[in-house]
Amino acid sequence: MHKLLGLFEIQELIAEHGQAVVVDSVRIIQEEYRNILRLGANAENNDFRKEVFIERVRDKISLVFGNSLRPVLNLSGIILHTNLGRALLSDSAISAINMVAKNASNLEYDVNSGNRNEREAHVEEQLCSLIGAEAVTIVNNNAASVMLVLNTLARRKEVLVSRGELIEIGGSFRLPDIMKSSNCKLREVGTTNRTYIEDYAKAISPSSALIFKAYSSNFTIKGFTKVVEEKELVNLTKEHNLPFVLDLGSGALMELKKHGLGQKQTPLVKLKKGIDVVTFSGDKLLGGPQCGVIAGRKDLIIRMKKNAMKRAMRCDKFTIAALAATLKLYQNEEKALQEIPTLRLLTRSKREIQSLADRIFPDIANKLKGTAKVEIINCYSQVGSGALPDKLLPSVGISIRKGIGKKGGAFPNRLASAFRKLPIPVIGRIHGGALVLDLRCLEEEALFLKQIQNLNIRADL
């Protein structure tokens, strides 16, 4: 160890990263060499060479202490891709984050009176105006919204839910588990495919706290089905003086149907129907930062704000700033469609995507000439993240396969790996024996073409 630490290159690493970090990394690589010798591996291929050892130490330091969060180019065809960060923020939202990041701000301070203020005051009025709510509050994501609502309004009491709405969202996160964590009791009504208003009525008892309806955010049930209309549930809950809570999952602030997107109704429409509380995400169809919005009756929202759980779920200054800037764009619908990336990508025309494909095709084809068959294809994009699960958007992509009539074997996976190894990884999807690069979400054309030039065909394929 003393001799290794004395090497000039190791001393340089110590100067950059510190003694403890480098020593730990050297010890790990030493142990890897020892294990190779214990296993009797080919000594010729595993002889100690100083330059190789130093490089492995550098790699280990980079792996543990480097910047693991990196930008990627999303050509998967999923606009709101949970694994790739969901909604992109508008320039104005990014500017707002930068402003509060490098300056002190009036996050909880009223500059007019000099008194303390609530941080949600920066978004409350805009949200109430856009969705027609008496009051709103926000938390750090929509799962937290549901937990806060249930823990406030139904603690140690029953929540009535149709069996067909006991959903599971990403990461095996299930509604029954959320209810259990919220300290309330699940009361299932109806069946998986058919639930009637009578099922709810029969289940109501002195132990009932509210009726909860969940939007099927990432699946659809078709065929022999029956769903209770929201208006019926509104009437039933009013009759029994119970709150009616609706989890939209993803809430759009404008009607997107006229832009070719058949969508569920907005929070504004739901609240007008008489639903007491709606919850939805800020980083899905809204196109803002990750947060959960709770909107509805003022008396119920006030109770939620007083819940001790609320502080643990509150949003930070960056979220508040980005959300406020995003909401401001909604004051002008045309501006919102152009400046909020989610809305812009959702409504991007196939003609525009086709034009992009025609421009970048020659570079990709030339790079892979003699290695793969490259062609422009029609394809379909998805919204993603549990928003509009049955809606497909006509798009255009670049298909890359081994050759005509060939299934591809391991080639598509190797090619996908090569694209992920680029300085800025390019993420596509494998379909029908080919790697497909769906171009709906590609707006940085020059940056993409620069990455293509870095493809190391011989090394990776």
User: SS in 3 state form for the chain?
Assistant: CHHHHCCHHHHHHHHHHCHHHHHHHHHHHHHHHHHHHHCCCCHHHHCCCHHHHHHHHHHHHHHHHCCCCCCCEECCCECCCHHHCCCCCCHHHHHHHHHHHHCCCCCCECCCCCCECCCCHHHHHHHHHHHCCCEEEEECCHHHHHHHHHHHHCCCCEEEEEHHHCCEEHHHEEHHHHHHHCCCEEEEECCCCECCHHHHHHHCCCCEEEEEEECCCCCCCCCCCECCCHHHHHHHHHHHCCCEEEEEEECCCCCCHHHCCCCCCCHHHHHHCCCCEEEEECCCCCCCCCCEEEEECHHHHHHHHHCCHHHHHCCCHHHHHHHHHHHHHCCCHHHHHHHCHHHHHHCCCHHHHHHHHHHHHHHHHHHCCCCCEEEEEEEEEECCCCCCCCCEEEEEEEEEECCCCCCCCCHHHHHHHHHHCCCCCEECEEECCEEEEECCCCCCHHHHHHHHCCCCHHHHC
- For residue 169, the model assigns a pLDDT of 66
User: Cβ neighbours of residue 239 under 8 Å, at least 6 residues apart?
Assistant: none
Domain range list for the chain: 2-65, 73-82+346-460, 91-339
Q: How far apart are CA 189 and CA 271, in angstroms?
A: 24
pLDDT of residue 69: 85
pLDDT of residue 165: 85
User: How many other CB atoms are found less than 10 A from the CB of residue 228?
Assistant: 20
Print pLDDT tens along the chain (461 aa). 888 899 999 999 999 889 999 999 999 999 888 888 887 655 555 567 888 889 889 888 887 777 778 899 999 999 999 999 999 999 999 999 999 999 999 999 999 999 999 999 999 999 999 999 999 999 999 999 999 999 999 999 999 999 888 877 665 578 888 888 899 999 999 988 899 999 999 999 999 999 999 876 555 667 778 889 999 999 999 999 999 999 998 888 988 877 777 666 799 999 999 999 999 999 999 999 999 999 999 999 999 999 999 999 999 999 999 999 999 999 999 999 999 999 999 999 999 999 999 999 999 999 999 889 999 999 999 998 767 777 899 999 999 998 655 556 789 999 999 999 898 999 999 999 999 999 999 999 999 999 999 887 765 66
The region that residue 314 occupies, defined by phi over 0 for left and psi between -120 and 50 for alpha, beta otherwise, is: beta
CATH of domain 73-82+346-460: 3.90.1150.180
- C-alpha 6/C-alpha 26 separation (Å) is 12
Longest dimension (CA), the chain: 83
pLDDT, position 260: 74
Q: Structure pTM?
A: 0.85
Same CATH topology for 73-82+346-460 and 91-339: the answer is no
Nearest CA-CA partner of 247 in 277, 273, 272, 271: 277
* Separation of alpha carbons 373 and 329, rounded Å: 44
Pick the CATH number of 91-339 from 3.40.950.10, 3.40.50.620, 3.40.640.10, 3.90.120.10: 3.40.640.10
- Four-CA torsion 158, 172, 286, 243, nearest 10 degrees: 0
Integer Cα distance of 448 and 268 in angstroms: 39
What is the structure's pLDDT at 230?
A: 93
CA 137, CA 158: separation in Å to the nearest integer? Answer: 24
Residue 172: the pLDDT is 59
Q: In the chain, what is the straight-line distance between the N-terminal and C-terminal CA atoms, in Å?
A: 39
Sign of CA dihedral 387, 388, 391, 395: negative
401 close to 460: Cβ distance less than 8 angstroms: no
Residue 351 backbone zone (phi > 0: left; psi -120 to 50: alpha; other: beta)? alpha
CA 401 – CA 461 distance, rounded (Å)? 12
**How far apart are alpha carbons 255 and 268 in whole angstroms?**
10
Please check whether residue 228 is in contact with residue 191, taking contact to mean a CB–CB distance below 8 angstroms: no
- Beta strands 244-250 and 208-214 are parallel
Polymer length of the chain: 461
